[in-house]
Amino acid sequence: MNKKHFVIALIMVLAAISRLIPHPPNFAPVTAIALFSGFYVTNKLLVYALPIGIMMLSDLFLGFSSISYFVYGAFVLVSFIGTLSKNPKIFKIVPCILLSSISFFIITNFGVWILGGYPKTWTGLATCYTMAIPFFKNSLMGDFFYTGVMILCYLLSRKTFLRTA
């Protein structure tokens, strides 16, 4: 593994470990990890495998739930969104984070509805999404915070540790 790959993996692992530290509900690095992978990992298989593998490892400590399939599916989509904007500039990062956050919200809350949290009606679906809106605020703030920190760490490491990258 070269230095660049090591730094990228280290940043992702540290972000995943931060899931284990007490934090406000939904203020977590989950979406940022998948988006960061899409931005900077060059191996197509690893773009998707790294975030899911890292999240599975952290879920060993936090616990798996029936919604995990939807969460991991959302990660695949978010990683793909990141691949559409390789080595992003600031004006590309914000739309990517917004699209990723909204996609994650739609997919995972659809999973909550499908798995039985609400009646299987249009009203039940609307209620499910409505009840999730307060959590979306924290998700969005966490996605911006963690994506920003991860990108900043990577860019700083390129200037110091990875001078040739």
The domains of the chain are located at 3-159
**pLDDT < 70 regions, the chain:** 1, 87, 162-165
Indicate the pTM of the whole model. Answer: 0.87
Task: Report d(CA 52, CA 42) in Å as an integer.
Answer: 16
pLDDT for residue 162:
62
Structure tokens at 47: 């773009």
pLDDT for residue 160:
79
pLDDT for residue 1:
61
pLDDT for residue 165:
47
What is the enclosing helix (H) or strand (E) of 63?
Answer: none
Please give the radius of gyration of the chain, using alpha carbons only, rounded to the nearest integer.
Answer: 16
pLDDT for residue 164:
54
DSSP symbols for 4-55: HHHHHHHHHHHHHHGGGS--STT-SSHHHHHHHHHHH--SHHHHHHHHHHHH
